[in-house]
Amino acid sequence: MSVRERVLDLLFPPKCPFCQKILDNPRAPVCPVCQPELPWLEGKAAERRVDFANSCFSPLAYRDMVPGAVHRYKFSRVRALGRPFAALMAQCLEDHLPQRAGLICWAPLSRERLRERGFDQAELMAREVGRLLSIPAGPALKKVRDTSPQSELEEESARRANARGAYAALPGLDLTGRRVVLVDDVVTSGSTLSECAALLRQEGAEEIWCLTLAQARHG
């Protein structure tokens, strides 16, 4: 742990992202009370099919304490929550993907939304997963069109139309033959991730593995 991290831990002691109690063990991502209560996804249940991607892994189902914690992370500017979430995601990736990935990227926010929120939660999680697993993390995509929040759209067709054409690959990106991990916070219909995965494929990515904190029931 760096000096900076140690100072931050003193100023802002790590809290459980689900119940917000200060953690006795600051290195544990979740408190021992929430740990057994969380809707963990095991084995095949942790996988979701996403078009253009090899698969999508998520450690948690999007229910019980999870939606509240994700919402707090997104809207309260509590960046520190990204760390425990990323720890859960890194563990999930290790459990499900035996091969090492060459790059971790994320489904980015639009510039406007980034200005509103102050940070890109998916980027923070992707960078932290990369740090934990020693995989390089970096931007691959940009958002070129603002979309309605997917969570406000019920129909799968509406979600797909909302995501279509909303992203573009960064200029100069060459993913030829690479194994890429694509991070987002929650997967529901998978239309955002499949839109992004299609672009990564176009740039030559050979394998694309999506990774989200939570998987929402869909359909």
CA distances from 91 to 15, 34, 42, 118, 187 (A): 19, 17, 12, 27, 18
Query: Left, alpha or beta for 190 (phi > 0: left; psi -120 to 50: alpha)?
Result: left
First to last CA, the chain: 43
Q: How many residues does the chain have?
A: 219
Residue 87 touching Zn ion (CB under 5 A): no
Residue 16 touching Zn ion (CB under 5 A): yes
CB of 72 to Zn ion, least distance (A): 13
Stretch that binds Zn ion, among 29-37, 70-78, 117-125, 148-156 (CB under 5 A): 29-37
Closest to Zn ion by CB, 84 or 108: 84
Residue 8 touching Zn ion (CB under 5 A): no
Tracing tokens 């200029």 back to the chain, one arrives at: 171
# chain residues binding Zn ion, by CB under 5 A: 5
Residue 65 touching Zn ion (CB under 5 A): no
DSSP for residue 99: S
Closest to Zn ion by CB, 199 or 214: 214
Q: Which of 14, 23, 29, 34 binds Zn ion (CB under 5 A)?
A: 34
Q: Which of 9, 15, 19, 117 binds Zn ion (CB under 5 A)?
A: 19
Q: Please state at what angle helix 156-163 crosses helix 191-202, rounded to 10 degrees.
A: 40
φ, ψ for residue 42, nearest 5 deg: -115, 150
Q: SS3 for 145?
A: coil
CB of 38 to Zn ion, least distance (A): 9
Closest to Zn ion by CB, 56 or 69: 69
**Number of C-alpha atoms within 13 angstroms, CB side, residue 168?**
7
Residue 158 touching Zn ion (CB under 5 A): no
Residue 186 touching Zn ion (CB under 5 A): no
Tell me which residues touch Zn ion (CB under 5 A): 16, 18-19, 31, 34
